[in-house]
Amino acid sequence: MKKIGIICKLSRKEPQDILRELLPWLRQRGCEVFVDQDTAARLNIRGYDRNEIPSFVEVVLVLGGDGTMLGVTRLVACAGIPVLGINLGSLGFLTEVNKEEIYSAVEEMLSGRCVLEERLMLRTTLRRGGEVIEQVLVLNDVVINKGALARIIDLEVSIDQSYVTTYKADGLIISTPTGSTAYSLSAGGPILYPTLENIVLTPICSHTLTNRPIVLSDKVSIAIKLRSSSEDVFLTLDGQVGCALQTNDIIEVVKADCKARLLVAGGKRYFDVLRTKLKWGER
């Protein structure tokens, strides 16, 4: 892998400091590097539009947190480009490589010794009055929730065109295995091994206590219709893309045609990550 895209978290000085040493190091190894425009401008070097980078590269290196990683993964997934994340954030479930491990991890990447994990993604379509308003790929989750002052909302759920139930709740999370350690976990959902082929439905503060999270096959088609008349209900995709919902809006969620391709360096194991990030075993 000699053609490398580098995309950094915006408004952070730390990636720039790292790149001042990393870029010459990469070029000494015969790599052609494509840095996103915003970061490049701060380094006074040539930059590339983020949307164009996938057409130039074989791999993308992300310097930032999980939020940056999610945005980049959505950008490059359909091009089949693998991504290696360097954690400059706080938690870092997706960006597993720490700053101290950058050079060893990139060396593994260049030599092809990283483990490649393919992760399920979801395609989400918002329909209003029969028209498609929004269609977005997500790696973590699709969230429908009410505003702080709104009343409980009614969400009518169907799976493969078969009616399931109408949740009376603060909202609903449709999560991938990768996203099972994000908002879904906070709402009481299960942790799924990240390479599984499943989708999790997790109600948020359901008014009916018997409404529990449910694990589904990735082959199903999920449709959620907003039955409430509240004007304070929102659709949020990967915690980054979103819009306000209206009564009778339909959110359709299916398995995406492409998968996220994440590189794992340093022989890291998923349970090591869980134990570290979730502080298992600590008192």
* 264 Cβ neighbours under 8 A, 6+ residues apart: 96, 114, 115, 116, 117
Q: Minimal CA–CA distance to 224: which of 150, 123, 121, 127? A: 127
Sign of the dihedral defined by the CA atoms of residues 95, 97, 102, 105, in that order = negative
State the Cα–Cα distance between residues 247 and 241, nearest whole angstrom: 20
State the Cα–Cα distance between residues 237 and 260, nearest whole angstrom: 16
SS3 20: helix
| CA distances from residue 192 to 78, 182, 195, 261, 283 in whole angstroms, order as listed | 23, 11, 8, 17, 24
Burial of 11 (C-beta count, 10 Å sphere; 0-12/13-18/19+): exposed
Residue 17 annotated in active site: no
Selecting among 17, 38, 66, 249, the annotated active-site residue is 66
Q: What backbone phi and psi angles, to 5 degrees, belong to 127? A: -115, 135
Q: What order of strands is seen across the sheet that includes strand 171-175? A: 214-217, 198-204, 171-175, 141-146, 233-237, 241-244
- State the catalytic residues: 66
